[in-house]
């Protein structure tokens, strides 16, 4: 393997390593084939969760996110992460601290206690953004890396909220990604793997988990997820793909909970895009930890392998 063109400090977050380790391994291995090396960001804490922390004490929220940013600054690397919630916390705090001196001074006051200082020297990217942006990888390279095309699979995309919203606070380098009402760039990435991307009713609706809703009122949260699952059933897809482990948890584990609480079952496999990419590049389901999913991926795997 040739020397990686780009290196990033890889921020894992909480759900990916604990619930869906396949996302982590798939990201590291698949991205390496595309010339991007993800170096573990050692000592990182919770991002912290934007809903849970951000709505209770902003100072703690800023300081914790800033600490994670400083760890990457010390590595002299930009951060790559694979979760929309982490993106909201770490990208947005980085953006705010870079542009607001008072806030930065306040955060540095706190960081001083652990001999750290936020300098604002790095950028933060979502791995999906790295895959789509031809400055790093781009759709063409993704397509070229496919050895096991997912031909015939009908796959719907769930974008998740925190990556794209609020629109006024997002500054993607690719202009296409700024269309946050009707985005289609993820569909391009799905098509690059040989699968058929499928549009469905109310695509941009929330998964129902974020903002502390899943923790606070699970029935309400599941009701929102259930509505999306009804809409997905309508267009008969083989799998749902996401770019956020928390959304993935909501749709994957959530289907079991929906079955318990509402008595409906969908049996729709839910895969992080990194897992799909891994499959398309020839990684085995075991290597991707797909057997750890709540909803069996078998029917989907039979179709594409």
| Sheet hosting strand 78-81, strand order edge to edge | 36-40, 6-11, 78-81, 124-126
Q: Is 202 one of the binding residues for another protein (CB under 8 A)?
A: yes
According to CB under 8 A, which residues from 240 to 259 bind another protein?
none
Q: Is 176 one of the binding residues for another protein (CB under 8 A)?
A: no
CA torsion sign, 51 to 57 to 59 to 64?
A: negative
Greatest CA separation for the chain: 56
Q: Is 18 one of the binding residues for another protein (CB under 8 A)?
A: no
Q: Is 42 one of the binding residues for another protein (CB under 8 A)?
A: no
Q: Nearer to another protein by C-beta: 148 or 180? A: 180
C-alpha 278/C-alpha 215 separation (Å) is 31
* In the complex, least distance from residue 227 CB atom to another protein, rounded to whole angstroms: 11
C-alpha 208/C-alpha 244 separation (Å) is 13
Helices assigned H by DSSP within the chain: 15-19, 21-33, 50-54, 58-75, 84-86, 92-99, 101-111, 127-132, 139-144, 161-164, 185-192, 213-216, 218-234, 245-262, 273-280, 298-304
Q: Is 179 one of the binding residues for another protein (CB under 8 A)?
A: yes
Q: Nearer to another protein by C-beta: 2 or 202? A: 202
* In the complex, least distance from residue 168 CB atom to another protein, rounded to whole angstroms: 7
Secondary structure of residue 138 in the 3-state scheme: coil
User: Pick from 235, 256, 264, 305: which binds another protein (CB under 8 A)?
Assistant: 235
Cβ(39)–Cβ(11) below 8 Å = no
Q: Is 151 one of the binding residues for another protein (CB under 8 A)?
A: no
* In the complex, least distance from residue 202 CB atom to another protein, rounded to whole angstroms: 5
CA distances from 124 to 51, 78, 291 (A): 19, 6, 31
User: Pick from 168, 171, 175, 263: which binds another protein (CB under 8 A)?
Assistant: 168
Q: Nearer to another protein by C-beta: 34 or 198? A: 198
Residue range at the interface with another protein (CB under 8 A); choices 16-24, 65-73, 195-203, 241-249: 195-203
Q: Is 169 one of the binding residues for another protein (CB under 8 A)?
A: no
User: For binding to another protein (CB under 8 A), which residues are involved?
Assistant: 168, 179-182, 199-202, 234-235
């Amino acid at each position: 393997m040739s020397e990686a063109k780009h290196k990033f400090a890889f921020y894992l977050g909480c759900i990916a390593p604990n619930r869906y380790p396949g996302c982590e391994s798939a990201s590291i291995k698949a991205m390496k084939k595309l010339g991007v090396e993800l170096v573990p960001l050692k000592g990182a804490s919770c991002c912290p969760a934007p809903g849970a922390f951000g709505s209770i004490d902003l100072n703690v929220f800023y300081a914790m996110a800033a600490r994670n940013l400083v760890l990457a600054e010390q590595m002299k690397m930009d951060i790559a992460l694979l979760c929309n919630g982490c993106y909201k916390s770490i990208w947005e705090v980085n953006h705010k601290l870079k542009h607001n001196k008072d806030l930065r001074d306040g955060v540095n006051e706190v960081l001083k206690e652990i001999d750290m200082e936020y300098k604002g020297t790095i950028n933060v990217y979502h791995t999906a953004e790295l895959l789509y942006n031809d400055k790093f990888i781009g759709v063409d390279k993704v397509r070229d890396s496919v050895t096991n095309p997912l031909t015939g699979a009908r796959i719907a995309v769930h974008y998740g909220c925190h990556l794209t919203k609020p629109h006024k606070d997002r500054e993607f380098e690719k202009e296409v990604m700024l269309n946050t009402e009707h985005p289609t760039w993820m569909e391009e990435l799905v098509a690059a793997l040989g699968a058929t991307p499928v549009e469905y009713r109310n695509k941009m609706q929330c998964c129902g988990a974020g903002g502390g809703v899943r923790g606070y009122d699970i029935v309400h949260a599941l009701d929102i997820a259930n509505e999306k699952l009804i809409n997905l059933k309508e267009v008969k897809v083989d799998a749902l793909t996401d770019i956020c482990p928390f959304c993935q948890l909501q749709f994957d584990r959530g289907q079991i909970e929906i079955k318990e609480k509402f008595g409906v079952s969908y049996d729709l496999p839910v895969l992080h895009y990194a897992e799909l990419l891994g499959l398309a590049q020839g990684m085995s389901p075991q290597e991707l930890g797909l057997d750890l999913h709540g909803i069996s991926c078998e029917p989907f795997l039979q179709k594409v392998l």
